[in-house]
Chain A
Amino acid sequence: MAMHGQTFDEPAMQFADLRQQREAAELGMWGFLTTEVLLFGGLFVAYTIYRTHHPEAFAEASHHLHRSLGTINTALLLGSSLTVALAVRAARVGSRRGTSLFLLLTLMLGGSFLGIKAMEYSAEWSAGLIPGIAFRYEGANAAPVELFFVLYFAMTGLHALHMVAGLGVIAVLLVLSLRRRFSRSWHNPVEMGGLYWHFVDVVWLFLFPLLYLVG
C-alpha cells in the first residue's frame, strides 16, 4: 500500500502505471482473502463433522439462539456491504463527500451489528450457555449442545474479531478520505478495505444459516 509520497498522478516506483498498481493490489487482497477463507474453513469443517454426528442436539442448541436478532444482523451486514460498495464507487468518481458519507454509514451499520452481538452474548451468559466456564444445561443432549456452543462462540467470535479489525480499517479510511488523500486516479486503500469488508459479510452469510437456522 504505497501511501507515503503517493501522488494522485503517478504510480508507486515499482509499477508501470496506475492500472497495474491497482490490479496488483486487488490480486494481493484476493490472495489474502483466500487464506481467510481457509481460516474460517477449518472451523466450518469442524462444524460439519460434529453436526453430522449430532443432528438433533445441534437443532436443539440452535433453538436457544435468537433467530430474529440473527436475521436483523444479517440485514445490517448486507446493508453495510451496500454502503461500502457505494463508498468505493464514490471514490472512483472522485467524490470526497460521498466516499466519507458512505464509509461513515458502513461504520454505523457495522457497529450496530457488534452491539446486537454483544447483547446476544450477554443473554447467552445469563442463560448459562457459555461452554466450560458457565454452562448450565439440563437434558440428555447436554454434551453435544455444549459442543455446538463451542463452535458458535469460536465462529462468531472469530468473525467479530474480523469485524472489529474491519471497522478499524474503515475508520482509518474515513479519516484519510476527509483529509483529501484519495482521488479519482488513486484510491486503492478504499477499494481494498471494501473487499475486506465484503469478505466479512460473506462469512456471516454462511454463519447465519448454519448456526441460527438448524432444524
Chain B
Amino acid sequence: MNIPVTPVRTYLGVAALLMALLILTVVVADLNLGPAGPFVALSIAMVKAGLVATWFMHLRHAAALTRLFALSGVALLAILIGLTLTDYLSRA
C-alpha cells in the first residue's frame, strides 16, 4: 500500500505553528480591536483548522472526492450562517 508517510518533523512543525497561532489569538484578544476583533479571532481559528485538516487529517494526500466532502461541510455551514445573517442583520 502506498500511503505517504509524513516525517515526524513536519508534524512537529505544524504543531509549533498551531501553538504560535494560539498565542497570537490570545494576544490579539487582549488588544481590544473593537468590531474587527471577532473577525480576526475567527480568521486565525480558520487558519488553525485549515492546518489541522490539511496536515493532521491528511487532506493533503486525500482523493479529490474526499476533499470535496470536506469542503462541502464548510460550504454548507457558511451558507447556513450567511443566509441567516442576511435576515437578522437587515432587521430594523
Is the CB–CB distance between B18 and A78 below 8 Å?
Answer: yes
A91 to chain B, nearest CB (A): 10
Given A79-B15, A82-B11, the answer on whether A37 and B76 have CB atoms closer than 8 Å is yes
Q: Are A89 and B6 closer than 8 Å at their CB atoms?
A: yes
Q: Verify A82–B12 contact, CB threshold 8 A.
A: yes
Q: How many residues of A contact B (CB 8 A)?
A: 51
Q: Is A82 a contact partner of B73 (Cβ separation < 8 A)?
A: no
Expressed in whole angstroms, the minimum distance between the Cβ of B25 and any Cβ of chain A is 6
Stretch at the interface among A127-135, A155-163, A168-176, A201-209: A201-209
A67 at the interface (CB under 8 A from B): yes
B55: chain A residues within 8 A (beta carbon): 85
Fill in one digit per residue for B6-47: 1 if any A CB lies within 8 Å of its CB, else 0: 101001101100110010011001001000011001101100
Is A45 a contact of B74 with CB atoms below 8 Å?
no
Please give, as numbers and ranges, the residues of chain A lying within 8 Å of B8 by CB-CB distance: 86, 89
On whether the beta carbons of B48 and A205 are closer than 8 Å, the reply is yes
**Interface contact tally, CB-CB below 8 A:** 129
- Choose among B6, B12, B45 the residue that contacts A206 (Cβ–Cβ < 8 A): B45
Q: How large is the interface on B (under 10, 10 to 19, 20 to 34, 35 or more residues)?
A: 35 or more
Interface of B is mostly: helix
Q: Which of B19, B26, B42, B81 contacts A41 (CB 8 A)?
A: B81
**A118 at the B interface (CB under 8 A):** no
Shortest CB-to-CB span from A105 to chain B, Å, is 13
Interface residues of A (CB under 8 A from B): 18-19, 22-23, 26-27, 30-31, 33-34, 37-38, 41-42, 44-45, 48-49, 52-53, 67, 71, 74-75, 78-79, 81-82, 84-86, 88-89, 92-93, 184-185, 194-195, 198-199, 201-202, 205-206, 208-210, 213-215
Q: List the 5 shortest-distance A-B pairs measured between CB atoms, nearest first.
A: A34-B73, A209-B41, A37-B73, A213-B29, A82-B15
B residues at A contact (CB < 8 Å): 1-3, 5-6, 8, 11-12, 14-15, 18-19, 22, 25-26, 29, 32, 37-38, 41-42, 44-45, 48-49, 52-53, 55-58, 62-63, 65-66, 69-70, 72-74, 76-77, 80-81, 84-85, 88-89
